[in-house]
A and B are shown apart, each in its own frame.
Chain A
Amino acid sequence: MSADLYLYAAIFLLALCSVICRAGYLVFGHLMPLSDRVRSALRYAPLAALTAIIVPELLPWHAQYGPLLDFKLAAAIVAIWVFRFTRSALLLIVSGMLALWLLRWVSML
């Protein structure tokens, strides 16, 4: 499969995800009441998926050298710490980026 086709197929499938998840219940909801058990499973799955995307970026695992430590982990910890005090998503992103740049700059001195 060519790279372009792969990319367009991925975009199309993701658009389909948006339609299914967002409109699905509004269109067919009268046919499928959700049980409490299903509702709670639906609550945990998205956060688990986001975690699974974030973790390999912060704690990469190299094929040869095994687990690696990266400045990104330290930067993310700083960002989370800032968020706990400020409750601001903007400050979380800004402080995380600043921390990453600072750590890299210090390590190059």
Chain B
Amino acid sequence: MFLKKLATAVVVTSIASGAWAGCAFENGTELKTLTAGFDSWKAVTSAMAECGNVTSTLDQDFKDVQADAFAANPSLYQIGGVNNSAFSILVNAGTIRPLDDLVAKYGSHLKPSQLIKVNGQTMAIAMQVNNQHLMYREDVFKELRIPEPKTHADMVAAAAKIAKYTSLSVAATPIGGTYAAGWNLGEEFVNNYLGNGGEFFGEGNAPSINNATGVATLNTMKDLAAYMDPEYLVSESTYVQQQFQQGKIAMATLWATRAAAMDNAEESTVVGKVKMASAPMGSTRAAATNWWDGVVLAANMTDEQADAAFRVVMEGIDTEMVLANNDAAVWLVDGYVAGSAAQGALDTATNGAAPYPSSLAGMGAMHSALGNGVGAFLTGEKDAATALADIEAAYIIAATESGLM
């Protein structure tokens, strides 16, 4: 976690006033933004910066600091980028402001689906949807006459076949996975467990993952891991993206926001060779979770600041930005045309991928317990039932401490 913060180079862009060529107005209010660091946020924050006086912090671990930064009075950031999970935290803490009046004033062009509402009040403006889906090397699969994998079992079978052709650069580690212990590993379990139709909680936030579905999920993950780089427990999204770009892996379930990077000729050696497809099916639905990303404004700032901030946000997520960065995400903004890069994400949604259950109060503690606990099963330290029992035990301690149980 902490590491990513350092390694993902906290990109800070500060553009002096006057550089507002791409912006409809000249912003005179000092504004600060805190968002995640993937490509679409780079696009949005640089479009905001064109208005002048905007300083952006892009940090993949933004959620570690966001709640506290927004709770300060005045808030340390005026504009926040959130996903559905980070949004729940801020709504629960009451540190973001309702946007209805500002939407009426400056946001009449927004699509209704962009307005995130809680009890009728608009609390965030969504800009994109995101999920994880299968990416695979179409050239390799065609050459070896392997059909497109539909399930995890297909992926394992395909990997077994690819591994036999040792002359291929992808043969040593046909599968990639965001299995880095911590948040990533927890997310992988959540995806697969939901794909298998699992429920995380019973009555009163009590955990309910130690069951046949949980065991099946763990076994699937271990089967896939057998074909991954043995260092998979330290591999996060950027690492998997690079494995793809450097031609080291043939398939992986990866975030839709990483799709465009496969065809980025500056970094990638596999331009045009990576096909996007639906996330593999679990026993009930596609094994992935749907997320959305959007913008919130801090409650603790003056109305004048909020006014300027909202106008800057509107510039950041306008059609002009989308036209210039069409493939960086599955945008919700007017003007977006779904291209081939988005096909996997859309197919995954069609195959019934569940939304990430961020509204469940215990999910945070559960996600952390999973992220810390699944590794012990994958390394062989514990068997599946013990690992799940220990994860439940860790969850119960955390949930009791935070008052949920």
Our verdict on whether A and B bind, yes or no, reads: no
Name B residues whose Cβ lies closer than 8 Å to a Cβ of A: none
Query: Which residues of chain A have a CB within 8 Å of any CB of chain B?
Result: none
